[in-house]
């Protein structure tokens, strides 16, 4: 099964953070499952790192490629179909990165690993320990 990670799930996974445990960590560590990360998450991390809202253990330019390769994580690009789907979504919240990730999950029929409760308001399959 392919699993789409939201930004926080990816960051917690690569940091070994305790907030990601149980079922979701097991799913992510199972190499039978393919992990997918949206380019929107990479964009969000780059922005937050550059403005000081996100601190990484190493430089973005080395850490992110290293962790993507180490964990065999596929990058999901932005396509017009995702933007079209995003435009149809109700505004349960306005975070543009989350909205794009939700649209990608819907369009590609990818289950989503997230701990953000707002995602449950959208028609996506969610894996979460909370």
- The CATH number for 50's domain is 3.40.50.1010
When divided into structural domains, the chain yields a total of 1
Q: What pLDDT was estimated at residue 19?
A: 85
Prediction pTM value: 0.94
Q: What pLDDT was estimated at residue 45?
A: 98
User: What is the token pair recorded at 89?
Assistant: 């979504």
Q: Give the domain range for residue 122.
A: 2-127
Q: What is the mean pLDDT of each run of 10 residues along the chain (130 residues)?
A: 97 90 89 97 98 94 97 98 98 95 98 94 90
User: What is the token pair recorded at 74?
Assistant: 């596929």
The three-class DSSP label of residue 90 is coil
Sign of CA dihedral 82, 23, 67, 54: positive
């Amino acid at each position: 099964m392919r699993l789409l990670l939201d930004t926080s799930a990816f960051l917690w996974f690569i940091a070994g953070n305790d907030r990601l445990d149980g079922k979701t960590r097991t799913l992510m560590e199972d190499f039978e499952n393919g992990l997918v990360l949206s380019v929107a998450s990479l964009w969000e991390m780059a922005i937050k790192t550059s403005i000081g809202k996100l601190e990484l253990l190493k430089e973005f330019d080395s850490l992110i490629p290293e962790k993507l390769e180490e964990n065999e994580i596929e990058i999901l690009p932005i396509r017009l179909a995702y933007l079209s789907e995003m435009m149809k979504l109700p505004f349960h919240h306005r975070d543009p990165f989350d909205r794009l990730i939700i649209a990608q999950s819907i369009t590609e029929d990818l289950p989503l690993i997230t701990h953000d409760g707002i995602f449950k308001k959208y028609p996506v399959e969610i894996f979460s320990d909370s």
